[in-house]
Amino acid sequence: MTEPPTGPERVTSDDEPTGELSIQGIAATVRTCTLCALSETRTNAVPGEGSGSPSIMFIGEGPGFNEDQQGRPFVGRAGKLLDELLGVVPLRRSDVYITNVVKCRPPENRDPLPEEVRACWPYLESQISLLRPRVIATLGRHAMNRFLPGARISDVHGRSVRWRDIVIFPLYHPAAALRSTALRQTLEEDMRRIPGAVLESLALNTGTGPERHAPAGTPAKDTDSTTAGEPPREEQAGQKRLF
């Protein structure tokens, strides 16, 4: 398992969710959020959906047309493929949590602007803190780079990378796999490795796993430190499961 530099610093603002948080409370706040210009062009915000205690959290970059219309993540053609890919693990959508870095669709599906990512980042941080997934599977290079700046998806897809006390597991985006039979096969093969990533995360948090090293030529960096104010991860008996 490799240890790259940490991802984006935690962004705080006066409008950041505080106090007694819940996933439902974050979702309600997201649906009425006006922190960036995306709120002016959206039909529906897309907070995310899935299990309230997932071992695996899937994070894409942002909603598309169908997601904007329905207010749900990954419901278009790429979402249908994601459902099929979950089935090979095997998993169902209800077993995992699915969300995006930004919660509103960028016009014409353009890349989110830095200020849009900054506005949404506290929501994602709060979701991660509450859900405490063992593995974050990023979908596509844009979502991956929010956690692993400078990484190349062609180099790290299907590999476990340590981020704080969580395993980041980069995957190609299902939309890209729709355009390439070879990429779809690669994505399916990587999905089959997810149970191994969960086991690596268990080893990471119990201290029984092998020593982890940064890639050759990369200075080793301590990524164990959690953000100020973020509760430490606790071992829970109910989380000894794989999924």
Q: What is the pLDDT of residue 62?
A: 97
Using CA atoms, how far residue 107 sits from 25, 37, 55, 73, in Å, is 26, 10, 32, 16
4-47 per-position pLDDT tens digit: 444 444 433 344 444 458 999 999 999 999 999 999 999 999 99
Amino acid type, 238: G
Q: Is 73 helix (H, G, I), strand (E, B) or coil?
A: coil
CA–CA gap between residue 163 and residue 187 (Å, rounded): 22
Where is average pLDDT lowest: 57-61, 179-183, 190-194, 215-219? 215-219
56-90 per-position pLDDT tens digit: 999 999 999 999 999 999 999 999 999 999 999 99
In the chain, pLDDT over 90 holds for what percent of residues?
74
Q: What is the pLDDT of residue 161?
A: 94
Q: What is the pLDDT of residue 204?
A: 81
Q: Where residue 220 falls among pLDDT bands split at 50, 70, 90?
A: very low
Using CA atoms, how far residue 154 sits from 39, 104, 159, 165, in Å, is 33, 27, 11, 24
Enter the pTM of the model.
0.80
Strand extents, DSSP E, the chain: 49-50, 56-60, 97-100, 135-138, 161-163, 166-168
Tokens of 163: 């981020």
Question: Using only C-alpha atoms, what is the Rg of the chain?
Answer: 17
CATH 3.40.470.10 fits 23-207, yes or no: yes
Q: What is the pLDDT of residue 7?
A: 44
